[in-house]
């Protein structure tokens, strides 16, 4: 059967796991009549067709033969006042996977009337029916996937329409100039292009700056949203796994006093204030005859190479030397924080911050690398570590700013394209080319920005974007 946007669709909107309540959502012109077939009110006196909009009522959901499946609550939201702008019914059942599946199965059994929704199809309809633009539809997905305070708050801003408004505003400025040029070329008597280039130049610069600022936010936005990949490396027994455990607040990794305890990499997401870190604990680096340990050491080096942040762990009660130089050299171009650990063993400390400073100089690492004294046993130095991370990556700003960050690769690429087109407009102006030259590039910029909010976007792209959504959304 060919799926169309006119079909009535149904899907489980809540998680596919046992929960208190589950919602099965139905959308489309047949929604009310399809659900009516299975819905009974306690006194049989009540008809779904009469159900007041936006209200919820108790009743029974029975199968086609009239056998009770579950007691439910049903809400009706008629077009256009619904999520999809179509008639929407939500059946609230007990949230067992079995009961939700059974009800869904009844609803979609008669395929001509109602079929299973594709992933993201409800939100796709909200977009196609004009309730939300593409950035807001994408925000819905981002909210569901958000794993940090930042990711969530940024996506909520996008859902609110902040991104859309910026783009709409930029496009309005572009189309105004395009219209002006066109009118002037058609009707030179009434529209004067004398000195026009000195007027359009500032506008162009402003738009380019806007693009550049948004693009700048993209890299920071990604780190903030998906987490900073952070690798803890150092010699065996320095306290790397202890740090991971302190950060996660649980026994995530095995800690013993035997050098070479950690062999494989251990990964864990850790939230530090508003920053999400993807922390990777690794095997202590040394030459090992043990085959398994040697593989672990190789892995540690590989992960360190791909990391965005290196936490270099040093045992302050143990000599530093060639091995440290060798490890630090391999990560010298990364952002590094050095932890000088085990400082609770006051009498045994032989390595100081100054020694580390010298070591870093030997390796040729910038001397403003933070060196923090810590004790994993006492939990000392963790706050300093947090501050150092926020300084390194966010200039000390931990609270998300009110500005919106670009976190979507599609938006980033289209903004880059618009940026390039606007720079071409700028070049044309500088070269004193005639106005009709600008319009081509202005139009390209206008189109690229339009694709971000979903105007002039083709069916293929719409399919691709919404197919990444989850079921029932
Ligand atoms: N039960 C339930 N909870 C949900 C949703 C839902 O669809 N059902 N949502 C989504 O998945 C989100 C809420 N988003 C929504 C956005 C708009 C409309 C809506 O009906 N809008 C209409 C009418 C607005 C009104 O009456 O004020 C409109 O914009 O025209 C519904 C939900 C999160 N929680
Ligand atoms: N006194 C003291 N002992 C610590 C501290 N941090 C870790 N230790 C101890 O040092 C030993 C090694 O700690 P681990 O966290 O397993 O060290 P590691 O760097 O993961 O070691 P490998 O996995 O072998 O590379 C354990 O006995 C820890 O209890 C600290 O700050 N002070
Ligand atoms: Mg370890």
Residue owning the nearest CA to atom 23 of ligand 2: 262
SS3 371: strand
Q: Which of 278, 338, 276, 339 is nearest to 303 (CA)?
A: 278
Domains and CATH numbers, the chain: 9-117 (3.30.1360.120), 140-219+408-466 (1.20.120.430), 227-394 (3.40.50.300)
b/e burial code for range 146-185 (CB count within 10 A of at least 16 → b): bebbbbbbbbebbbebbbbebbbebbebbeebbebbeebe
Question: In the prediction, which pLDDT does 393 show?
Answer: 78
In order of 7, 28, 32, 114, 461, the CA distances from 3 in angstroms are 7, 13, 20, 11, 17
With a Cβ cut-off of 6 Å, ligand 2 is lined by 236-242, 255-257, 259-262, 283-284, 341-342, 344-345, 375-377
**Virtual CA dihedral for 397, 403, 406, 408, nearest 10 degrees?**
110
Ligand 2 atom nearest 260 alpha carbon: 24
Non-local (6+) Cβ contacts of 304 within 8 A are 231, 233, 282, 310, 330, 331, 334
H runs (alpha helix) in 146-189: 149-160, 162-186
Tokens of 228: 């900073």
- The pick from 235, 239, 318 for probing ligand 2's pocket by mutation, whose C-beta has the most ligand atoms within 8 angstroms, reads 239
Question: In the prediction, which pLDDT does 455 show?
Answer: 92
Ligand 1 midpoint to CA 466 (Å): 18
Question: In the prediction, which pLDDT does 225 show?
Answer: 74
pTM: 0.72
Question: In the prediction, which pLDDT does 400 show?
Answer: 45
- ω into residue 169 within 30 of 0, thus cis? no
Does the CB atom of residue 321 touch ligand 1 within 6 A? no
Q: Which residue has the tokens 């009844």?
A: 106
Question: How many Å apart are CA 195 and CA 473, to the nearest integer?
Answer: 52
In order of 140, 239, 278, 453, the CA distances from 265 in angstroms are 34, 15, 12, 41
SS3 401: coil
- The pick from 231, 235, 240, 242 for probing ligand 2's pocket by mutation, whose C-beta has the most ligand atoms within 8 angstroms, reads 242
Tokens of 294: 């040697």
Question: Looking at the CA of 260, which ligand is closest?
Answer: 2
Residue owning the nearest CA to atom 23 of ligand 1: 81
Does the CB atom of residue 82 touch ligand 1 within 6 A? yes
Residue owning the nearest CA to atom 13 of ligand 1: 83
Q: Which of 461, 394, 397, 407 is nearest to 158 (CA)?
A: 407
Ligand 3 midpoint to CA 441 (Å): 57
Question: In the prediction, which pLDDT does 198 show?
Answer: 87
In order of 199, 408, 416, 448, 470, the CA distances from 465 in angstroms are 39, 11, 19, 16, 11
SS3 112: coil
Ligand 2 midpoint to CA 355 (Å): 21
Ligand 2 atom nearest 313 alpha carbon: 19
- The pick from 22, 83, 129, 144 for probing ligand 1's pocket by mutation, whose C-beta has the most ligand atoms within 8 angstroms, reads 83
Question: In the prediction, which pLDDT does 397 show?
Answer: 56
Ligand 2 midpoint to CA 139 (Å): 43
Question: Looking at the CA of 375, which ligand is closest?
Answer: 2
Ion ligand 3: residues, CB within 5 A, are: 240-241, 261-262
pLDDT in tens, the chain (473 residues): 678 889 999 999 999 888 999 999 999 999 999 999 999 876 666 688 888 999 999 999 999 888 999 999 999 999 999 999 999 999 999 999 999 999 999 999 866 689 999 999 999 999 999 999 999 999 999 999 888 888 899 999 999 999 999 999 999 999 999 999 999 888 888 888 888 888 899 999 999 999 988 888 886 777 777 788 999 999 999 999 999 999 999 999 999 999 999 999 999 999 887 678 999 999 999 998 899 999 999 999 999 999 999 999 999 999 998 989 999 999 998 999 999 999 999 999 999 999 999 999 999 987 789 999 999 999 999 999 999 998 887 765 544 456 788 989 899 999 999 999 999 999 999 999 888 888 999 999 999 999 999 998 888 888 888 988 888 89
In order of 125, 131, 222, 301, the CA distances from 324 in angstroms are 58, 59, 32, 13
Ligand 2 midpoint to CA 380 (Å): 14
Residue owning the nearest CA to atom 10 of ligand 1: 83
């Amino acid at each position: 059967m060919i799926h169309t946007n006119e079909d009535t669709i149904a899907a489980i909107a809540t998680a596919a796991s046992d929960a208190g309540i589950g919602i099965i959502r139905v959308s489309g012109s047949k929604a009310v009549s399809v659900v009516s077939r299975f819905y009974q009110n306690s006194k049989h006196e009540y008809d779904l067709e009469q159900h007041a909009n936006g209200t919820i009522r108790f009743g029974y959901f029975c199968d086609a033969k009239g056998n009770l499946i579950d007691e439910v609550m049903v809400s009706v939201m008629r077009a256009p006042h619904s999520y999809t702008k179509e008639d929407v019914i939500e059946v609230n059942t007990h949230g067992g996977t079995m009961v939700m599946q059974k009800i869904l199965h009844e609803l979609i059994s008669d395929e001509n009337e109602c079929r299973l929704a594709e992933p993201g199809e409800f939100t796709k309809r909200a977009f196609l029916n004009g309730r939300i633009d593409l950035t807001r539809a994408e925000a819905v997905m981002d909210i569901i996937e958000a794993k940090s305070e930042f990711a969530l708050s940024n996506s909520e801003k996008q859902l609110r329409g902040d991104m859309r408004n910026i783009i709409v505003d930029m496009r309005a400025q572009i189309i105004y100039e395009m219209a002006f040029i066109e009118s002037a070329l058609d009707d030179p008597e009434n529209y004067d292009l004398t000195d026009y280039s000195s007027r359009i130049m500032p506008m162009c610069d402003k738009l380019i700056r806007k693009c550049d600022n948004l693009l700048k936010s993209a890299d920071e936005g990604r780190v903030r949203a998906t987490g900073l990949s952070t690798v803890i490396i150092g010699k065996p027994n320095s306290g790397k796994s202890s740090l991971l455990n302190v950060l996660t607040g649980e026994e995530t990794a095995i800690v013993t006093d035997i050098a070479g305890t950690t062999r494989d990499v251990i990964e864990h997401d850790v939230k530090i204030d508003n920053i999400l870190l993807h922390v990777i604990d690794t095997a202590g680096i040394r030459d090992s005859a043990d085959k398994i340990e040697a593989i672990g050491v190789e892995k540690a080096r590989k992960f360190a190479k791909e990391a965005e942040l290196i936490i270099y762990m040093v045992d302050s009660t143990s000599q530093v030397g060639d091995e440290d130089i060798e490890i630090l050299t391999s990560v010298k171009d990364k952002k590094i924080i050095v932890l000088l650990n085990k400082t609770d063993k006051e009498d045994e400390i032989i390595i100081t911050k100054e020694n580390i400073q010298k070591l870093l100089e030997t390796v040729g690492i910038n001397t403003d690398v933070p060196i923090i004294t810590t004790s994993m046993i006492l939990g000392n130095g963790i706050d300093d570590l947090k501050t150092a991370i926020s300084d390194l990556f966010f200039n000390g700003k931990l609270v998300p700013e009110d500005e919106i960050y670009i976190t979507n690769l599609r938006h980033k690429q289209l903004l880059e394209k618009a940026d390039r087109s606007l720079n071409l407009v700028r070049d044309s102006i500088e070269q004193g080319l005639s106005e009709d030259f600008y319009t081509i590039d202005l139009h390209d910029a206008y189109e690229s920005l339009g694709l971000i909010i979903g105007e002039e976007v083709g069916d293929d792209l719409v399919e691709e974007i919404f197919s990444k959504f989850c079921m029932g959304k």
